[in-house]
Amino acid sequence: MTKARRTLLKTLALFAGSVLVSASAMAQSIPAPGPTVEAIKKRGELNCGVDAGIPGFAFQDASGAWKGFDVDYCKALAAAVLGDPAKVKYVGTTAKVRFTVLQSGEIDVLVRDSTLTFARDIDLGLTEVAVNFYAGQGFMVRKSLGVNSAAELNGATMCMLTGATLELNIADFARSKGTTINSLLFEKSEEAFAAAESGRCDGYSDDTGSLAAARSTMKVPDDWVILPDVISKEPLGLHTRDGDYRWSDIVFWVDAGLKTAEEFGITKENVDEKKSSSDPFVRRLLGLEGDFGKKLGLDNEAFYRAIKSVGNYGQIYDAYFGPKALGLPRGINNLWNQGGLHYPLPFR
């Protein structure tokens, strides 16, 4: 016993030492494109962590192919780094394990309707790269209850999934209003939907994007109404591990590239024609001027390939949340010049 304890102490001392060493190593600069991209290229595949299955963000169709808003982000990254949007290994992650999988290096990037928060940035040792979907927690209730706003939910019970911060947001909201809202936590959406459907709860709570998806799976979607109030800020986005800022830079600028493409009217269809454009921003984005791709450690066609394979930000949104899909109005997910919040940094 004492021997084992001594070994443990030694290990702990060793571990304290290595913390110091790695802290000093952190200050050094990494040559582009960084170890993560080197590893991806060697592997010939991008390991992309996505949601294990939720309409809109990431799901598998009848043939088992991955589809969705977040999945398209994986494709864009693979197109930029490896030149082929198909070279992605999708790792479906649950809310509980998503960050552990990223920390352990099993995936290169997490694109999984996950909120960017302080705790995840600082406590979990992750990098909050970019927001690709502005959501907020909302409520879906039965129309027959006659509730018009979240403020009228005093004493109500809400079904929701565990593993996120939904119950915390609800408790915070109720406390701020001096009311009580009970939350019933389920591990899987099937049981949560069944409980809401049967009337065990007065409604269902989740991020606005997921609520639209949940409503579409109800027996009679028209019996349900999504309340207009949003009780929390849920900037969903892209996470990478701390320690390779070059890779985080690439992820950041691919996201900015997709949004810039929408800003300048570049689509999946017209990207080749746009190469003859005289607009300097278009020319820089498509790799005709300025060596932006090369400076990231990729090649100058990187952004062109990303746009060519999945389209611009607006096209991705419309494909999964647009009127023909889940029918979620773009609202704050519009570009800044359309009244939304997406404001890509300029390519210059």
Partner 1 sequence: MAGKSRKGGSSLWPMKASHALLMQGVALLIGGLVIAWFAQNAASNLARRSMQLDFGFLGSPAGFSMPFQILSFGPTDTYFMALVTAFANTLLVSAMGVITATVVGLGLGVMRLSHNWLLSTVSGAIVELVRNTPQLLQIVFWYVGVLQVLPQARQSLSFGDVAFLNIRGLFLPAPIGGPWSSVLLIAFFLSLALAPLARRYLPLHPRRSSLLWLVPPLLLIALAFSLKGWSLPALKGFNFAGGMVLPPELVALWAGLSLYTAAFVAEIVRASVEAIGKGQVEAANSLGLSSWLTLRLVVLPQALRLMIPQLTNQYLNLIKSSSLGAAIAYPEIVQIFAGTVLNQSGRAIEVMVIVMGVFLIINLAASAALAQLNERVALKER
Q: At its nearest, how many Å lie between partner 1 and the CB of residue 102? A: 10
> Per CB under 8 A, does 185 bind partner 1?
yes
Cα–Cα distance for residue pair 328/219, rounded to 1 Å: 19
Stretch that binds partner 1, among 9-17, 207-215, 228-236, 255-263 (CB under 8 A): 9-17
Extract the tokens encoding 185. Answer: 């936590």
Pairing state of beta strands 88-93 and 66-67? Answer: unpaired
Give SS3 for 142.
strand
Burial of 176 (0-12, 13-18, 19+ CB in 10 A): exposed
Q: At its nearest, how many Å lie between partner 1 and the CB of residue 148? A: 14
Stretch that binds partner 1, among 32-40, 189-197, 306-314, 340-348 (CB under 8 A): 189-197
Angle between helices 313-321 and 245-263 (to 10 degrees): 80
Q: Tell which one of 48, 164, 211, 213 touches partner 1 (CB under 8 A).
A: 164
For residue 221, the tally of other CB atoms under 10 A from its CB is 13
Extract the tokens encoding 263. Answer: 């800003």
Closest to partner 1 by CB, 1 vs 62, is: 1
Closest to partner 1 by CB, 162 vs 277, is: 162
Give SS3 for 339.
coil
Q: At its nearest, how many Å lie between partner 1 and the CB of residue 127? A: 12
Show the DSSP H helices in 27-82 as ranges.
35-43, 69-82
Q: At its nearest, how many Å lie between partner 1 and the CB of residue 69? A: 23
Closest to partner 1 by CB, 83 vs 163, is: 163
Stretch that binds partner 1, among 72-80, 194-202, 249-257, 334-342 (CB under 8 A): 194-202
Cα–Cα distance for residue pair 234/293, rounded to 1 Å: 31
Q: Which of residues 217-246 bind partner 1 (CB under 8 A)?
A: 241-242
Pairing state of beta strands 109-115 and 126-135? Answer: unpaired
Cα–Cα distance for residue pair 289/304, rounded to 1 Å: 12
Closest to partner 1 by CB, 126 vs 316, is: 126
Q: Are 46 and 83 in contact (CB under 8 A)?
A: no
> Per CB under 8 A, does 14 bind partner 1?
yes
Q: Which of residues 90-149 bind partner 1 (CB under 8 A)?
A: 95-96, 99-100, 103-104, 119-120, 123-125, 145
Cα–Cα distance for residue pair 322/324, rounded to 1 Å: 5
- Could you list the residues that contact partner 1 (CB under 8 A)? 3-4, 7-8, 11-12, 14-16, 18-19, 22-23, 95-96, 99-100, 103-104, 119-120, 123-125, 145, 153-157, 159, 162-165, 167-168, 170-172, 174-175, 180, 182-188, 191-192, 194-195, 198-200, 202, 241-242
